[in-house]
């Protein structure tokens, strides 16, 4: 199948001066969609933290900052390890051969969520990975080329933290062998968050999660969600717990993202979330992409589903899957454009013809849409700008 070339949206640029001049760094471009207006650290001077300790201090303080990562910041071992009683959940059909056992976070192993026939086992995990760094308001966090890596710990914007930009950063290796091993990026009770040109890989639980608190306006763009793993809840080297959008009154734009080698919850939508999924590329999903629960409201347009077994698992909320050229004209009134057709290659059907909820987009900042394109795979992620 051939797809048209999709123009790259907002991008980050890190400029290095030449002829012996000092390098300068800056966030370039602006977010589209619901995250419009996010400015991060604004005009704050950019600086490079010398250590993981200094990085954590700068991220958590109340000072507006532009934080530049030009190397790997490895949090593994910085908080020691924990040995505790966890479990082998019912989902682990291949113990010792690529399955995921579980940490007993929030009594998950003992409250019935792990399924029938659960076996208690001892688990040892890196303590830093299970809790994210609580990022303060007004921060820009940008990487240099493909060098900016945070290993072993995630980022968390919560409890009123707002106006944060995360660009060109690779977050990886949060106890990937364990369910509940850690979340890469969490937004919970926040506002104005822009995640752009990042890469997320080898995560124990969610790659991105919007918690139950209202997260208001969020844009995730040009980001690679890499589900390739040696430890899989579905025993097939595909990550299951990928993107979880079940917050309260959340507005989420997903544009130009590359979501690959996952097996489910890519994303799971519910709560009271309004999601605009536009011009993304799903590839090699062995289970389902969307799972739209009660309260979830989704417009999916201009996306590519290549080798995705089930693009939409269930829809107990509201879902418009841009089913035909004639039907897509309905988007004009509230989204400001005719919705674009989705494209499918060796994939199941998407479905979704609900339209009454489209009025929820009226008056909001809505991302533009282009024709579906597989070229997203070569444009999303770190070091691609």
Alpha-carbon span 375 to 342, nearest angstrom:
14
Respond yes or no: is residue 205 known to be catalytic: no
- CA atoms in the 13 A half-sphere facing the CB of 209: 22
| Residues with Cβ within 8 Å of residue 22, at least 6 apart in sequence | none
Q: 297: which strand partners? A: 274, 318
Sign of the CA dihedral 69, 72, 78, 81?
A: positive
Alpha-carbon span 328 to 372, nearest angstrom:
14
Alpha-carbon span 81 to 130, nearest angstrom:
11
Dihedral pair phi/psi, residue 306, rounded to 5°: -115, 120
CA distances from 4 to 302, 314, 370 (A): 11, 29, 9
Catalytic residue among 65, 88, 151, 265: 265
**Quick one: tokens of 181?**
């091993």
**Pure H helices in 39-78:** 52-60
| Residues with Cβ within 8 Å of residue 127, at least 6 apart in sequence | 79, 80, 81, 82
**Quick one: tokens of 340?**
């674009």
Tokens 């900052």 belong to residue: 65
Largest Cα span, the chain: 66
CB 277 within 8 A of CB 303: yes
Alpha-carbon span 52 to 174, nearest angstrom:
16
Alpha-carbon span 9 to 300, nearest angstrom:
17
Residue 119: helix, strand or coil by DSSP?
Answer: strand
Tell me which residue of 277, 279, 280, 281 sits closest to 306, measured CA to CA.
Answer: 281
Q: Is the peptide bond before 359 cis (omega within 30 degrees of 0)?
A: no
Question: Catalytic amino acids?
Answer: 265
């Amino acid at each position: 199948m051939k797809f048209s070339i999709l123009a790259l949206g907002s991008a980050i640029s890190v400029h290095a001066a030449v002829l012996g001049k000092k390098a300068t760094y800056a966030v370039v471009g602006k977010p589209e969609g619901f995250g419009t207006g996010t400015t991060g650290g604004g005009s704050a001077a950019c600086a490079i933290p010398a250590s993981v300790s200094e990085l954590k201090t700068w991220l958590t303080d109340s000072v507006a900052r532009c934080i530049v990562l030009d190397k790997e910041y490895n949090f593994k071992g910085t908080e020691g390890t924990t040995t505790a009683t966890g479990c082998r959940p019912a989902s682990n059909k291949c113990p010792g051969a690529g399955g995921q056992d579980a940490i007993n976070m929030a009594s998950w192993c003992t409250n019935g969520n792990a399924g029938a026939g659960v076996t208690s086992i001892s688990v040892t995990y890196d303590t830093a990975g299970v809790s994210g760094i609580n990022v303060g308001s007004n921060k820009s966090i940008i990487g240099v080329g493909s060098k900016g890596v945070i290993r072993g710990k995630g980022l968390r914007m919560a409890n009123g933290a707002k106006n944060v930009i995360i660009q060109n950063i690779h977050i990886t290796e949060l106890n990937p062998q364990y369910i509940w091993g850690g979340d890469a990026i969490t937004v919970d009770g926040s506002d104005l968050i822009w995640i752009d040109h990042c890469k997320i890989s080898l995560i124990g639980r969610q790659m991105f999660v919007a918690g139950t608190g209202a997260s208001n306006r969020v844009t995730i763009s040009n980001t690679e969600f890499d589900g390739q793993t040696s430890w899989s809840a579905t025993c097939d080297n595909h990550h299951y717990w990928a993107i979880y959008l079940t917050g309260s009154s959340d507005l989420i734009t997903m544009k130009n993202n590359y979501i690959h080698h996952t097996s489910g919850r890519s994303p799971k939508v519910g709560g009271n979330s309004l999601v605009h999924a536009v011009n993304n590329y799903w590839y090699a999903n062995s289970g389902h992409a969307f799972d739209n629960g009660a309260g979830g409201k989704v417009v999916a347009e201009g996306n590519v589903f290549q080798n995705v077994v089930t693009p939409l698992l269930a829809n107990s909320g509201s879902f418009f899957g841009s089913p035909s050229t004639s039907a897509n004209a309905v988007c004009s009134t509230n989204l400001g454009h005719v919705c674009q057709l989705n494209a499918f290659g060796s994939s199941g059907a998407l479905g979704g013809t609900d339209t009454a909820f489209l009025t929820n987009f009226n008056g909001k900042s809505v991302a533009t849409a282009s024709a579906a394109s597989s070229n997203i795979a070569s444009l999303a992620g770190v070091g691609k700008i």
